[in-house]
Amino acid sequence: MHLAKLRLYILVALIMGLGIGLILYKHFALGFPLSPDDQKPVWTIEARIDFAARGDPVIVSFALPPKTPDIIFIEEEFASPDYGFSELISPSGRRAQWSKRTATGAQTAYYRLSLYDTRQKSGVDAVDLPTEPEKPEFDEVLKTAAITLLDQVRNRSANTETFTRELISTLNSGAPSQNQSLLLNDQSNEDYKTHLIINLLAMEGISARIVRGLYLQDGRRRQTLTNFVEVYLGGEWRLYNQKTAEIGKPKNFLIWQRGDQSLLDVVGGKNSQISFSMIKNVQSARDLVARNSMNQQAGIIDFSIYSLPIEQQNAFKMILLLPIGALIVVVMRLLIGLRTSGTFMPILIALALIQTTLLTGIVIFLIVVGTGLLIRSYLSRLNLLFVARISAVIIVVIAIIASISIISNKLGLDQALTVTFFPMIILSWTIERMSVLWEEDGPREVFIQGGGSLLTAIIAYLFMTNRTIEYLTFNFPELMLVNLALILILGQYTGYRLTELYRFHSLERRNVSS
């Protein structure tokens, strides 16, 4: 006996562990949210490339943002009428290439990207090592100015990190010294400043590179990329804002391109321009994750309910709720000790209640069973064989249901039309059983068992219609394993049922007095 119990507990632990493990895996590794209300902002970014073609062959090459683990691209679209298109992957990053034999006049190409942030920390790849910084070529005047500036900055800093920050803030200071003005050359051009910072850092022997990116702000149009400086510091690349000298990637900043390649090359065109517009919308995190996992063919998702057609998925939504109902019945019967007519009839009533909504469902149930009992008591006088009688009850039930539908329709009570969702055979059996119960054990027993069934059904209904439970059972079918483990444990419960504490309460008093 001991061994059998041990075996059961091991089994329960295994099932429970497997179920919880799968849930945790899906939550943490695949990002499935545990709440149905979990939503993620999805950004749709559109890059519009305009240029004037000269009638020659045209090649447009456009840098695309790199794919990183912290950002999921839901969809990428490339559009440009009559152009050939290909996506090229080079060591320096992905590029889109549009091409056409001849084109004249104003041309436009679009690139649209939808993405969301997984909010996961992504380590910058270790392979992305910097090359030895090339010493920049400055003319004498500039070189002197640069050396003086670097000396000042060096004096005010302690290490590479503070040096870089100090250099950027000095270059951005509101009251520039002569040296700074000379170096900045009165050019407010972003790219010029970025390259100046990189060059100055190179003179100091620090590796740095340009990073172009896009601030994601809802509803913005005609945006341009913003330049950042990425500095190789202590074995990793650190991003510096070249205006404020702040370290790190700002929130809602999408890195579009790293390194010094051009963002856009147009061969056979002129006056090329690029502008970005973006909008944000909110989508259910569950949908996004499920779609993404499907795309990546994560085994656990690829062989899951999501792979079924939508119609079957909806059927499963209901089916996967049944174990919850079963658990409620087990709890009500083993722990509470409620008597129900038919073990699992409450679940069937609960399923019907889901379709009809609670109050309407209960009213309909009571009307059908009540009327059925009345008619059944007449049938019992007709001296019928049992099978014929139960069949007659089925027909009576259908007639009642039909009349309820018709009358309520005439009265304009649309809710009552859902009456057809009640399982008619089960209702007939209920009526038959209750009527026999009435004859043999009296109306009291009928009310106890009928009430017990209805109460269990209502509780099961409340659980099964709970949004979170509905969401969890469908998206984490592994919960069934946890449910199974719970039922296995409950099957071992040998303590008193709640109703037995009432049933035996007179014993307590007598034993105390004696």
Contact window for other proteins (CB under 8 A) among 116-124, 150-158, 268-276, 384-392? 384-392
Question: Segment 199-228, which members bind other proteins (CB under 8 A)?
Answer: none
391 near other proteins, rule: CB under 8 A? no
Q: Does residue 514 belong to the site contacting other proteins (CB under 8 A)?
A: yes
User: Which of the ranges 91-99, 236-244, 438-446, 459-467 carries the binding residues for other proteins, by CB under 8 A?
Assistant: 438-446
**Binding residue (CB under 8 A) for other proteins from 119, 222, 386, 412:** 386
Identity (one letter) of the amino acid at 431?
I
Q: Which stretch binds other proteins (CB under 8 A): 15-23, 84-92, 110-118, 381-389?
A: 381-389
Note whether 488 and 8 are within 8 A (CB): yes
- Residue 89 lies near other proteins (rule: CB under 8 A): no
By the rule CB under 8 A, 159 interacts with other proteins: no
Q: Is 496 in the site for other proteins (CB under 8 A)?
A: yes
Segment lying near other proteins (by CB under 8 A), choices 97-105, 116-124, 367-375, 382-390 = 382-390
453: phi then psi, degrees, rounded to nearest 5: -60, -45
Angle at 243 between CA 241 and CA 247, to 5 degrees: 25
Binding of other proteins by 378 (CB under 8 A): no
- DSSP one-letter string for 114-153: EEEE-----PPPTT-PPPPPPPP---HHHHHHHHHHHHHH
Give the nearer residue to other proteins in terms of CB position, either 41 or 337.
337
Structure tokens at 210: 């340009």
| Distance of alpha carbon 280 from the chain centroid | 16
Give me the residue label for tokens 């309909």: 364
Cβ atoms of 146 and 183 closer than 8 Å:
yes
Please list the alpha-helical segments (H only) found in 258-385. Answer: 285-295, 299-302, 310-319, 322-330, 345-356, 358-379
Name the residue type at position 357.
Answer: T
211 vs 379, beta carbon nearer other proteins: 379
Round to whole Å and give the CA distance between 80 and 323: 53
The 3-32 contact track toward other proteins, x by CB under 8 A, reads --x---------------------------
Q: Output 3 or 158, the one with its CB closest to other proteins.
A: 3
- Residue 166 or 432: the one with the smaller Cβ distance to other proteins is 432
**175 contacts other proteins (rule: CB under 8 A):** no
Most distant CA pair in the chain: distance in Å?
A: 120
Grouping H, G, I as helix, E, B as strand and the rest as coil, residue 10 is helix
From candidates 134, 287, 414, 441, binder to other proteins by CB under 8 A: 441
CB 380 → other proteins: shortest distance, Å? 8
Region near other proteins per CB under 8 A, out of 96-104, 127-135, 347-355, 435-443: 435-443
Q: Which of 205, 248, 442, 443 binds other proteins (CB under 8 A)?
A: 442
Range 200-218 burial, b when 16+ CB lie within 10 A, else e: bbbbbebbbbbbbbbbbee
- x/- track of binding to other proteins for residues 58-77 (CB under 8 A): --------------------
Is the Cβ of residue 110 or residue 504 nearer to other proteins in the bound state? 504
- Contact between 505 and other proteins per CB under 8 A: yes
Nearest-angstrom CA–CA distance, 64 and 221: 19
504 lies in the binding site for other proteins (CB under 8 A): yes
| By CB under 8 A, residue 492 contacts other proteins | yes
Q: How far is the CB of 331 from other proteins (least distance, A)?
A: 12
Does the protein bind other proteins through residue 2 (CB under 8 A)?
Answer: yes
Nearest CA to 173 out of 195, 192, 153, 200 is that of 153
Q: Does 178 bind other proteins (CB under 8 A)?
A: no
> Between 225 and 437, whose beta carbon lies closer to other proteins?
437
**Least gap, CB of 352 to other proteins (angstroms):** 23
* CA distances (Å), origin 340, targets 31, 464, 487: 42, 19, 18
Residue 447 touches other proteins, criterion: CB under 8 A: no
By CB under 8 A, name the one of 385, 410, 411, 412 that touches other proteins: 385
Instruction: Tell me the closest approach of the beta carbon of residue 374 to other proteins, in angstroms.
Output: 20
Q: What angle do CA 511, 513, 514 make, to 5 degrees?
A: 65
CB of 366 to other proteins, least distance (A): 25
CB closer to other proteins, 229 vs 486: 486
What percent of the chain is helix, strand and coil (3-state, nearest 5)? 50, 20, 25
Cβ proximity to other proteins: between 378 and 386 the closer is 386
User: Looking at beta carbons only, is 178 or 383 nearer to other proteins?
Assistant: 383
Q: Which of 41, 337, 342, 451 binds other proteins (CB under 8 A)?
A: 337
158 or 512: CB nearest other proteins: 512
Q: Which long-range contacts (CB under 8 A, 24 or more apart) does 188-193 make?
A: 190/226, 190/227, 190/242, 191/227, 193/227, 193/242
Question: What string of H, E and C letters represents the secondary structure of 218-258?
Answer: CCEEEECCEEEEEEEECCEEEEEECCCCCECCCCCEEEEEE
CA distances from 3 to 11, 17, 262, 265, 492 (A): 12, 21, 72, 75, 14
Q: Which residues bind other proteins (CB under 8 A)?
A: 1-2, 5, 334, 337, 383, 385-387, 436, 440-442, 445, 492-498, 500-508, 510-512, 514
